Amino acid sequence: MRSVRTILILMFLTTTLVACQGTESFTPAPTLPHEATDMTPVTPPDETAEKMVTLVREHLAQRLSITVDQIVLSDIKPVVWRDAGLGCPKPGIDYIQMETPGYNILLQAGESTYNYHTDQSKRFVQCNK
């Protein structure tokens, strides 16, 4: 009786080990350095990107005293900024050093192009870069 139980346990363990050999282990995707951040345009923009585009279009329209309809989205790229300065730090201000996901948004109004850097919630800065 004891040998039958031992054989059954060995068969169970062998089956379990064979089944486990076919599974692949999880390996997280490598983190890209900031300089190699993929800047592939979001097409079409997701809900978060669309929200940020709306915010910066409204800001630019108010600044230029034109309607939002006169502003065209030229490009939008997802970016991970190095710090809370969103890639356009103001001189003399120390920013929290933390990766900040956001967008680089290019808007066209008339013959001029305007560059905005954003986070993914509500912060943005017009940047001349």
Name the residue ranges covered by the structural domains of the chain: 40-127
Query: ∠104-41-80 over CA atoms, to 5°?
Result: 45
pLDDT at residue 6 greater than cutoff 80: no
Q: Phi and psi at residue 127, in whole multiples of 5°? A: -125, 140
71-128 pLDDT, tens digit per residue, is: 999 999 999 999 999 999 888 999 889 999 999 999 999 999 999 999 999 999 999 7
Residue with more model confidence, 4 or 85: 85
What pLDDT score was predicted for residue 100? 93
Rounded mean pLDDT of the chain?
78
If pLDDT is split at 50, 70 and 90, which confidence band does 40 have? Answer: very low
* Extended strands (E) in the chain: 71-81, 100-109, 112-118, 124-127
CA max distance for the chain: 91
Residue with more model confidence, 45 or 34: 45
The whole model's pTM is what?
0.64
The length of the chain in residues reads 129
Distance of CA 124 to the CA centre of its chain: 15
In the chain, the percentage of residues whose pLDDT exceeds 90 is: 55
